[in-house]
Structure 1
């Protein structure tokens, strides 16, 4: 696997990964995180991915590729935090989106992309890396970030038409 910087030409690959993750979550009956519709079929989420891949001044898109060049993971980082995160008084690198090919679950793609984000923070002289994730149900996703070395900080809720979406902000200090 190699990790490279992505751009506008990679929008379709990132959307395909996200659509695959939604299908996988739906197959497990876990629709609370990202719903039951593909990202590519929802205008707002598809636009978010286009924004990530087209705005290199704000977002850095890093892609994990298999030996054959297939994109198997994507991580989007920014020095701008998610709107649900508590504002901090220092520079930070915020993981805005992290997704991997679910058929390769357990192969270390996510861990490699997080390690790459930590290296990017070091290159920029940043000592705080944060991420937020879905925290409802059994908190499995929070547990995955804990295994990667993150520490939970703030919890938050976002009102949705079908009830609150609960999230957790986590951080690593370098």
Structure 2
């Protein structure tokens, strides 16, 4: 599996990965994270993905995109960082690309170090028994702040401190 820079041409494929993830979450009874409607049918979500292409990275396995990572400014609903950071604004992996998420997070960490930044942050859905929070903790992140969006969507901010 390799990581390469993504761009506007990858948007349809990444939308397909996000739609696949929604279908899988719904099949697991976990629609609280992203709802039950495909990403590709929501104009706001498509617009957000198109904006992420400035710093989009994709994981490929045998020439197929099996994961995507976007880096950008922290969303306004999370507490601001104390100092410079690299913020993971999106991460998705396909069931076909086991390990793509961890590979992309390692890429984000390396990118933060390359930029001379000592903090990598991400936020995620904190419901559903905390499974996603557990994934990020297992990848080396530490939970920091919690938040809610639209009154009922529980979120968790996590950070990884880096040397430098």
TM-score, normalization by structure 1? 0.90
Unaligned runs of 5+ in 1: none
CA shift, 1:51, in A, is 1.3
Aligned to 1:70: 64
CA shift, 1:85, in A, is 1.5
Counterpart check, 1:148 vs 2:139: yes
CA contact (8 A) 1:85 1:169 kept: yes
* Structure number with higher helix proportion: 2
CA contact (8 A) 1:82 1:94 kept: no
Moved over 2 A (4+): none
CA shift, 1:156, in A, is 0.3
| Separation of aligned partners in 2, 1:15 and 1:108 | 19
Aligned to 1:168: 156
Size of the aligned set, in residue pairs, is 162
Aligned to 2:17: 17
Unaligned runs of 5+ in 2: none
| Separation of aligned partners in 2, 1:90 and 1:13 | 34
CA shift, 1:122, in A, is 0.5
Alignment of 1:1-174 (within 5 A): 1-53=1-53, 56=54, 60-67=55-62, 69-78=63-72, 80-104=73-97, 107-159=98-150, 164-174=152-162
| Separation of aligned partners in 2, 1:173 and 1:153 | 12
CA shift, 1:147, in A, is 0.2
Deviation string, structure 1 residues 40-98 (Cα, Å, up to 9, x no partner): 00111111111112xx2xxx10100012x1100000012x1121211123110000000
User: What is the RMSD computed on CA atoms of the aligned residues?
Assistant: 1.0
Deviation string, structure 1 residues 94-131 (Cα, Å, up to 9, x no partner): 00000001244xx2111100000000000000000000
